[in-house]
A and B are shown apart, each in its own frame.
Chain A
Amino acid sequence: MSFRRYLVLAIVTLTASCGDTFLARGMKTLPPVSLHHPLELIHAIFSPWVAAGIVLLIGFFASYLTALSFADLTYVLPATSLGYVIMTILAHWWLHEHVSPWRWLGVLCITAGVGFVTRGPAYTNTREPEPVAAEPAAAKLANPQEVSR
């Protein structure tokens, strides 16, 4: 894979983790949404944190679609899960949050998973070889005299 494609995967990683965090932050500032009033979710979209989260998630979706056009779903999803590792490291070093040994073990597991998947091929070619292009060559091999006539 080229550097440009790794860059697309990095953008997927960063926008997804930041977008989810913004959404959670925004929803915590609002009162709980009841099943009887689902339209309250529409009002939530206009809260600044939720709106910022949605903008980031639109960026995530565009880069995610680009990644899916050149790599398998089962490659893109684990490869971009490094976002959780970045969030945990930021929480520890920047926000000075307590990160338990279990969470560090989780970070190790995710890093190992990303290591496994990125060492393999990114794309499964499920398309059949095109028979139209192959036909003249095959016919020539099967009956060379008829073709030369």
Chain B
Amino acid sequence: MNAFSGVMATIAMVLAIVISATAGDVLTASAMRQIGDLDIIRERSGLGGAATAVVTNSRFGLGVLCLALSFFSLLFAFSHRDLSLIGPAATSLTFIGNAVAAKIFLHENVDHRRWTAAIFVCVGVALLAF
């Protein structure tokens, strides 16, 4: 494998993790928003009731599927590249992907404060690789 195809393979691995992780995070967050506060549900119908409410939600199922895909992509990437490269790259890009996706799909109030936080954390995680 030459240097160029090595870089392209790394980018493909990171993108696979970022896209599947963002889709999984947004779908599970959307499911939890639909279900409501778990503390209140647990008070009303116990731990079993709260677990049933989560597990029977279709968005949650789809989200878990995407997160499982992200997990196996991460395992695959760890077996080929260093944790110090894959971990910070995938995590920092997932922060930005989640901020964009949460604004578009979840209609969250991603104000200046949250954008600043996402960018600071993204840069900070990237710097941890050095």
* Chain A residues within CB distance 8 Å of chain B: 4, 20, 23-24, 27-28, 30-33, 35, 38, 41, 44, 50, 57, 65-66, 68-70, 72-75, 77-78, 81, 84, 88, 100, 102-103, 105-114, 116-117, 119-121, 124, 126
Contact = CB atoms under 8 A, between A and B. Distances in A.
B32 interface: yes
Given A119-B113, A124-B107, A113 B28 contact: no
Contact of A109 (B54, B120, B130): B120
A124 B125 CA distance: 26
A74 B75 contact: no
A24 B38 contact: no
8 contacts: A24-B78, A27-B78, A69-B35, A69-B37, A74-B102, A113-B118, A117-B117, A120-B113
B125 to A, nearest CB: 6
A31 B110 CA distance: 43
Most B CB contacts (10 A, CB to CB) among A32, A113, A114 go to A113
Given A69-B35, A74-B98, A74-B99, A103 B128 contact: yes
B61 interface: no
Nearest to A111: B124
Given A112-B120, A124-B108, 17 more contacts: A27-B79, A33-B75, A38-B72, A57-B71, A66-B38, A74-B98, A75-B114, A77-B98, A81-B124, A84-B125, A106-B124, A109-B120, A113-B118, A116-B113, A119-B113, A120-B113, A126-B33
A33 B80 CA distance: 8
A16 B4 CA distance: 33
Contacts, number: 149
B127 A103 contact: yes
B121 interface: yes
B62 interface: no
The 9 closest A-B pairs by CB, nearest first: A106-B127, A109-B124, A113-B120, A110-B124, A117-B117, A102-B130, A113-B121, A68-B32, A73-B29
Most B CB contacts (10 A, CB to CB) among A77, A112, A114 go to A77
Contact of B117 (A31, A107, A116, A126): A116
B26 A33 contact: no
A73 B98 contact: yes
Contacts of A28: 78
B43 interface: no
Interface in B63-113: 71-72, 74-76, 78-80, 83, 87, 95, 98-99, 102-103, 106-111, 113
A88 B87 CA distance: 14
B118 A78 contact: yes
